[in-house]
Amino acid sequence: MFSYRHAFHAGNHADVLKHFVLVQLLQYMNQKDTAYSYIDTHAGAGVYALDGNFASKNAEYETGIGPLWERTDLPPALAEYVDLIKAMNPSGKMRYYPGSPYCADQVAREQDRLRLYELHPADSKILTDNFRKLDEHKAAQGIRSSVRGKRVLVTRGDGFHELKGLLPPPSRRGVVLCDPPYEDKQDYRKVVDMLNDATKRFPAGTYAIWYPILQRIEARNFAERMKHIKGTEWLNVTLTIRTPGPDGFGGLHSSGMFIVNPPFTLEATLKEVMPYLVEVLGEDTGASFVLETGNAATAPRAASLQQAENNPRGGLRAPVSPRAIGPGGSLRGNNAPAPRGSLRTSSRPGTPGAGTGTGRPGSPGASYTRPAGAKPVAKLGTDGPRTGVPRNTKPRRP
C-alpha cells in the first residue's frame, strides 16, 4: 500500500506536464481578487532532492526538467514554470525539484488556502516538516500573515475520502489536483467516482487529474470514462516522449492531464507549448501530444488537436468547419477514423514528412522546428557521487 515513493520520479516528463498545467490553472485563478482553495489529494513530500538516493537512482529528471534547464528559447508560459523551479535553486545548479504543494504555495496568494493530503507516513511527515520550516523562515524575516486562519493545512489521510468534507469551499472558488500513484488499479475507479461526487457537490470547481498512459485496460479507458461525467466541460492533454515498448516495459513513456472546467485561456496556451515540449523532450519519432476539448453532452470539438504524420503539411491543422464533419460527428479521411470530433496526428514536428512551415509553435498550419544554430539537447549526467539535502460549454471567466 505504501510502496510508491514519488522521489524516484521527481522532475520527469510527467511532472513537467502536470506542474506546468497546475501553474497555469492557479495563475488564472489569481486574476480575481476573491480567495480560492487549492486541494491536493495526493500531495507527496513537497520537495525532492535530485541528487539524493531516490531521484538519482534512475535520474528520471533527465526526461523532463533536465533538458529544459538551460534552454533560452522557452515559450513565455513554460518559462514561468521553469523560473519557479530555478527560484528554489539559487546556486544555479539543478538540485531540488518541487512537488505540487510547493508549486501551489509559490503561485497562490496570501488569502488563498492550501489543503494538502498525503497517506504515506514518511512523505506526510516530510511534507509537514517542509511547511513548518517555510513558516519558521518567514517568521525569522518578520513576515506575518495579514489574514486570519491557517493558510496551509497538511493532513495525513486519504484524499479521496477527505475531499468530500471540503466541497464546496467557503469562497465557492477552488482547484482540486488529484494524482494518485495508480499502482492499485482501483485508483482509476476511485478517481472517476470522486469526480462524479465532487462535481455534484461543487459544480463550478476546477478539477485537474493526472494519469499515466499504460497498456493496462484501466488506463486505456480512463480518459474516455471521465469525458462522460455529467454536466462537465473538459480538456484533455497528453504528452508522449517515445514509442512504447512492445512488452510495456522501459519506463513511463506517456502521461496526461484531464481538466474539468478548464480556464478558457488554457487551450491556446497548450497549443503553443505542447509542440515545443515534444521537440525538446521527445526521444524518437514516436513523440507526440494530444490536445482535445469537449463536454459530457457533446462529442469532442472538431477543432481538437493532435500532432500528425498523416498531415502532409505537418504541424498543427487549423480548426475544421462543420461541413468537414461526417455523420455522428467524426472526421473522415486519412487512415482509420479519428475519435469523434478530433484531428489525429502522430509525428514529431520537424521530422521528415512533417513539412517546413514557419510560425509560432501551435499556430494553425505551422510546424515547430529547432531554431537555426541551436544545439541538440544534452542529457544531464551524474559526474561522480552527489550528496543529498534533504462548464457548461461557455468560456469561464475568473
Residue ranges of the annotated binding site are: 19, 42, 100, 118, 158-159, 179
* Interatomic CA distance for residues 289 and 361, integer angstroms: 13
Residues 6+ positions from 264 with CB-CB distance below 8 Å: 395, 396, 397
Detail the residues annotated as belonging to a binding site for S-adenosyl-L-methionine. 19, 42, 100, 118, 158-159, 179
Q: What is the CA radius of gyration of the chain?
A: 21
Closest CA to 253 of 10, 12, 2, 1: 12
Q: Which three cell numbers stand for residue 22?
A: 497546475
H or E segment at 152? Answer: strand 152-155
Give CA–CA dist 144/358, Å, rounded.
50
| 211 DSSP β-pair partners | 256
Contact 14, 25 (CB under 8 A): no
Whole-angstrom CA distances from 114 to 7, 15, 31, 231, 261 are 22, 20, 18, 26, 20
Burial class of residue 101 (count of CB atoms within 10 Å of its CB; 0-12, 13-18, 19+):
buried
Q: Which residues pair with 61 in a beta bridge?
A: none
Q: Give the type of residue at 252.
A: L
Distance CA 105, CA 34 (A): 17
Under 8 Å CB-to-CB from 116, ≥6 apart: which residues? 40, 43, 46, 101, 127, 152, 153, 154, 155
> Catalytic one among 51, 179, 193, 284?
179
Whether 179 is a known active-site residue: answer yes
**What does 104-124 look like in DSSP terms, one character per residue?**
HHHHS-TT-EEEEE--SHHHH
Which residues are marked as active site? 179
